[in-house]
Structure formats: C-alpha cells, structure tokens
Amino acid sequence: MTLNPLKHLDPIGYVLVVAAGFGWAKPVPVDPYNFRNYKKGMFLTAIAGVVVNYIIAFFAYLIFVLIVRFLIPVASASAVGYYFAYFLQATFFLIFAYSLYSFVFNLLPLYPLDGFRVVESLTRQINPVQRFLREYGQMILIILIAEGLICSIVARYLPIAQYFSVLYYVSWFAQNIIGFPIQAAWGWILRI
C-alpha cells in the first residue's frame, strides 16, 4: 500500500486518458475475508473513492470561486497575470467538474465500478440482477464509452449528436444536480 501515484498508474489506462479522455488506474485489490461484516465492509470500501471525489470537488470549487472573486480582478492589470489567473480558474473548475463526473460515473451499477460493489453489498448474493450486472457490466460499460466517444466526434460536425450520448447526461447530472449543493454551500458561506 502506497500513496505514490506512479504505483497506481496503468499504462494502457494512462494512454487512453491522453488519447480518448477516458482511462483507469490499476485496481486496488480488496480481500473480503478481512472484513468482520462483509456487507458493511464492502459498502464502505466501495463508497470511499467516490466520497473522496466529492470532497475534492467541494474544495476545488472553493478555490475556483476565490480565484474568480479575488485573483482575476487583481491580475487583470497585466496580460500575463490575467492569463495565469484564467488558467488557474479553468484548472480548478475542470477539477471540480471531473471530480463530480467521476463521482457519478463510478456509482453506475456496472461491474467493475464501485456502484456495482454498492449494489452487491446491499442485495442478496443470489440475485438475477446482480448476476446480470456482473456478467455483462463490462460489456455495457465499453458500449457506453464507445457510444460517448463516437457522439463526441460526430458532435464536432453535427452539434446535436451530443444529445444522443448517455454519458453526456451522466456528465450533465453530475455538474448540475450533484454539484448544486457544493455551489450553493460555498455561495452561502462566502456571502457571510
């Protein structure tokens, strides 16, 4: 176990992140025999990653708002300062957006995502839905990713194509529905 990010780097997943905008890290092995209570242990393990994504989004949005409110007005005096502040603003907004997207995406109940582990921990072991999701989850996931990639390529030439992508709606839901409490909380806190 290590916090060194290079140890978690999967070469194929990294290449796909750079080339296609989607990838993965090396899976972290979980030994369910270490849990005193299997269902509770699996549930807590499954939601740990997505909770961290939400916490990252929470603080990234704070930094984004602080940059917009305080740094950009000061940095507008020079072109270099303005572009640097704009770069920081865009960076932290993207961290916010991608963290929320990862939060929602990883909660999809498809094997091997964390959402499947949540479903697995909350249902009986002998369950036809769980069996279906375990058996066909990876295939459904690949189809969703391929469909999203094709729609994003076609959308460059035909903008309406983005509305046919299932992952577009996952992204919209993440930013506008799941992200709303974060935006509202920081809006309320920073007004005080």
- Among 114, 125, 108, residue whose Cα is nearest residue 39: 125
The domain spans of the chain are: 1-30, 36-191
pLDDT at residue 192, as a whole number: 58
Q: What angle, 0 to 180 degrees and rounded to 10, lies between the N-to-C axes of helices 38-66 and 79-106?
A: 160
pLDDT at residue 21, as a whole number: 67
Q: Please list, in sequence order, all residues whose beta carbon lies within 8 angstroms of the beta carbon of residue 86, skipping any fewer than 6 positions away.
A: 72
pLDDT at residue 74, as a whole number: 87
**φ, ψ dihedrals at 25, nearest 5°:** -105, 175
State pLDDT tens for residues 103-134.
Answer: 999 999 998 889 999 998 888 878 888 889 98
The series of mean pLDDT values per 10 residues for the chain, 192 residues long, is 79 79 76 86 91 96 94 86 92 95 93 90 86 91 89 92 91 95 94 72
pLDDT at residue 2, as a whole number: 74
Task: Measure the CA–CA gap between 116 and 159, rounded to whole angstroms.
Answer: 33
Which SS3 state, helix, strand or coil, does residue 27 take? coil
